[in-house]
């Protein structure tokens, strides 16, 4: 009678197989989760860039959505009260720009209205004319609000310290004023940071006028690197949106990475 050995796995081989399989499954899950978070972060940065670019597009194709039920006073604020109403296209107030307020992960966009002052003077440039000849205000009835995607937030860029960079900081507030000159049609962009960015209820004609500062600074027309903090999605945040100095159109808004910033010899990183 012949003896036959039955083919099979030993206990050690079975345990080893299960251990390796479990390791591979965990690695696959972790890798997939990291990939999803990276894609979510990139989508959030791209969406934020698109929202900022959209403000320029809206300004280049302004639509008057109001009806005949409001009038516009010398403070450039529309109202639906009072006996005198403005016919569409016959108001002294004009749509001159967009104001964008960003705080952490919240964004709010407003239409900027201009009203010519009683006494108009000839100024040497568009910005002086805007300050001296027009009252600017925001229409609180024409508001578009949104939130940065996937819990991301705007952050200050990291600054170079020796051969290393400090980590970008939150919270951050930023105000962006985009106006088209009623005189020349030229578009100008101004930014303001920190406490110069008021809550919606406190945005006044003076607030907007104080942002109309010429030169490469803030408030003013200077470059702004808006880093996007992943807020835990990723270990490191390496992307941001660059608003170039003296911006006049949507092409001045760029998506940048730390690798790109290094090639420009920038002393800022995200």
Q: Supply the Cα-derived Rg of the chain in whole angstroms.
A: 27
pTM above 0.75, yes or no: yes
Query: What is the SS3 assignment for 157-213?
Result: CEEEECCEECCCCCCCEEEEEEEECCCCCCEEEEEEEHHHCCCHHHCCHHHHHHHCC
Look at residue 83 in the predicted model and tell me its pLDDT: 52
Torsion-angle region of 252 (φ positive above 0: left; ψ -120 to 50: alpha; else: beta): alpha
| Dihedral in degrees, nearest 10, Cα atoms 193, 237, 259, 149 | -70
Sequence spans of domains, the chain: 12-61+93-113+143-269
Look at residue 188 in the predicted model and tell me its pLDDT: 97
Confidence of residue 247 (pLDDT cuts 50, 70, 90): very high
Window from 143-147, 153-157, 187-191 with minimum mean pLDDT: 143-147
Q: In this predicted model, what pLDDT tens digit does every residue of 43-70 receive, in sequence order?
A: 999 999 999 999 999 888 765 555 555 6
């Amino acid at each position: 009678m012949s003896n036959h050995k039955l083919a099979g796995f030993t206990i050690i081989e079975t345990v080893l197989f299960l251990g390796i399989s479990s390791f591979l499954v965990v690695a696959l899950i972790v890798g997939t989760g990291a990939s999803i978070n990276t894609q979510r972060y990139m989508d959030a940065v791209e969406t934020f860039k698109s929202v900022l670019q959209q403000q320029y597009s809206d300004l280049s194709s302004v639509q008057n959505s109001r009806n005949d039920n409001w009038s516009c006073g010398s403070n450039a604020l529309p109202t639906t009260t009072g006996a005198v109403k403005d016919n569409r296209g016959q108001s002294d107030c004009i749509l001159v720009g967009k104001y964008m307020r960003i705080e952490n992960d919240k964004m709010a966009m407003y239409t900027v209205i201009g009203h010519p002052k009683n006494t108009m003077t000839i100024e040497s440039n568009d910005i002086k004319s805007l300050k001296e000849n027009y009252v600017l205000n925001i229409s609180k009835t024409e508001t578009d609000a949104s939130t940065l995607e996937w819990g991301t937030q705007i952050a200050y860029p990291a600054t170079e310290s020796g051969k290393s960079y400090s980590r970008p900081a939150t919270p951050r507030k930023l105000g962006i004023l985009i106006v088209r000159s009623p005189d020349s049609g030229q578009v100008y962009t101004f930014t303001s940071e920190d406490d110069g960015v008021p809550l919606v209820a406190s945005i006044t004609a003076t607030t907007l006028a104080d942002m109309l500062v010429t030169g490469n600074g803030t408030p003013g027309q200077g470059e702004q690197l808006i880093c996007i903090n992943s807020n835990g999605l990723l270990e490191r945040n390496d992307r941001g949106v660059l608003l170039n100095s003296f911006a006049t159109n949507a092409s001045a808004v760029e998506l940048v990475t730390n690798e790109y910033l290094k090639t420009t010899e920038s002393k800022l990183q995200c």
